[in-house]
Chain A
Amino acid sequence: MKILVVDDSKAMRMIVIRTLKQAGFDDCVTLEASSGVEALEVIAKERPGLILSDWNMPEMKGIDLLKKLRADGNETPFGFITSESGEDIANIASEAGAKFIVTKPFTAQKFGDVLTPILA
């Protein structure tokens, strides 16, 4: 499966990909995008099976990326990996169609817990 990691921080994309491997998902192909706009291009071209996105990004926020995908009929599983926390954020994400939110900092164990049911 292809997993798209969307984050404006190159360091964080690297850490997310590293943590995916540590969590045992090293057979997945990882793709990267540094913004919501770039993510749309990658999604159209590569058709990932899972999207992991930051919330706060310039140009297009993660939540706007998710809403755009769903408005276009794209139902690819989508989760947030973000420094945002709180019930309000979780509700907004859930209502927009997100499968989960992982708050930074995260662990390989946490990745395993939320991704295993999706990737199984």
Chain B
Amino acid sequence: MSTTSTAPFPDKAYVQELFLGLFGSGLEVTESDAPVSDLSKSIAAFYVDDSGEPQRALVCDLAFSNSTGAALTMIPPGVVKDAIKDGEIPGNVMANLNEVLNICVNLFAETSDKHLVLGEILNLGEVPAKLAEITQHASFDVKVPRYGSGVVSLVAF
């Protein structure tokens, strides 16, 4: 992905507010110049309109996926560290991540004029390389207290 952003995306404050609601105080969000680049080690969630057409997506790197998934139900941070080192997302963390991604539809609540719901989630190794060709995105580094930081890219089609 390049770093252009012409589509309407939420700003840093909006993104931070949503994640603060999920993970509590101490969470930090910063804008990231670098989008998620290693798609082979990423998760992608697609948000579809009422006709089923993808309108937005989130691309989550391994660290974001593990840290947010684990933090949701306070799975021990050590699990995250080991998972990132092994290039994996444990099953219980992935189940939680699905719920995080479901809630993240509200990242687009004020910047999409369509009603969106979470559609398909592509797991590690399933994210197509062509997603890197999409130029409309905004990326954020999300640091979850005790769990570490990871990058999530918001994508518009």
- A and B: real partners? yes
Size of the B side of the interface (Cβ < 8 Å), in residues, is 17
| Distance of B97 from chain A, by nearest CB (Å) | 9
User: What separation, in Å, do the CA atoms of A8 and B35 have in the docked complex?
Assistant: 32
Please give the distance in Å from B66's CB to the nearest CB on chain A: 15
Q: For chains A and B in complex, what number of residue pairs have CB atoms within 8 angstroms?
A: 38
A14 at the interface (CB under 8 A from B): yes
- B106 and A104 form a contact (CB under 8 A): yes
Q: Tell me the complex Cα distance, A10–B91, Å.
A: 13
Would B102 and A10 count as touching, CB distance under 8 A?
no
CB pair A11 B22 closer than 8 Å: no
Task: Decide if B98 touches A86 in the complex (CB within 8 Å).
Answer: no
A85 touches B109 (CB 8 A): yes
Q: How far is the CA of A85 from the CA of B110 in the complex (A)?
A: 10
Interface size class of A (residues with CB under 8 A): 10 to 19
- Do A56 and B115 touch (CB < 8 A)? no
Give chain A residues whose Cβ lies under 8 Å from the Cβ of B106: 83, 85, 103-104
Contact assessment for B73 and A14 in the assembled complex, using a CB-CB cutoff below 8 Å: yes
The docked-state distance in angstroms from the alpha carbon of A26 to that of B18 is 26
B22 near A105: Cβ-Cβ < 8 Å: yes
Chain A window 1-30, contacts with chain B (Cβ cutoff 8 Å), 1 for yes, 0 for no = 000000001111011000000000000000
* Residue B99 CB within 8 A of the other chain: yes
What residue of chain B has the Cβ atom nearest to residue A88's Cβ?
B115
On whether A105 and B115 interact (CB within 8 A), knowing A9-B98, A15-B73, the answer reads no
User: Which single member of B72, B102, B109 contacts A86 (CB below 8 Å)?
Assistant: B109
Report whether B99 and A105 are in contact in the complex, using a CB–CB cutoff of 8 Å: no
Chain B interface (Cβ within 8 Å of chain A)?
A: 18, 21-22, 72-73, 95-96, 98-99, 102-103, 105-106, 109, 115, 117-118
Give the interface of A toward B (CB within 8 A): 9-12, 14-15, 56, 83-86, 88, 103-107
